[in-house]
Amino acid sequence: MRIYEYQPTMYHCKVMVVDDLWVSVGSANIDSRSFRLNDEANLNVLAADFAAEQTKVFENDKAQAREATFDDWRTRSLGTRLMEMLASPFHPHL
């Protein structure tokens, strides 16, 4: 798995392309909070041409992103670690 951070701005939309045929796009996370509590939704499309277009959009966005590596996470600052520790009790609500 690779993680990329989009640099121009925050990007909340989630896009998943499966087998170059099925696309799911929207704001929902794949977790119980998104499905049961948050008012989020995805649009699912079964179409190879739409999947190809979304793959192109993703590749263009990825060109403007920075890859976040395990080494970046492991060497994050003490301040970042402290904020993570202070926020962890609120994790179920975030």
Q: Cα 75 to chain center, whole Å?
A: 22
Residue 49: give the domain boundaries.
Answer: 3-93
Amino acid at 69: T
Number of domains in the chain: 1
Please state the pTM of the whole predicted model.
Answer: 0.71
pLDDT tens track for 22-50: 999 998 887 777 777 888 888 999 999 99
Task: Centre a 10 Å sphere on the Cβ of residue 54 and count the other Cβ atoms it contains.
Answer: 19
pLDDT tens track for 11-23: 888 899 999 999 9
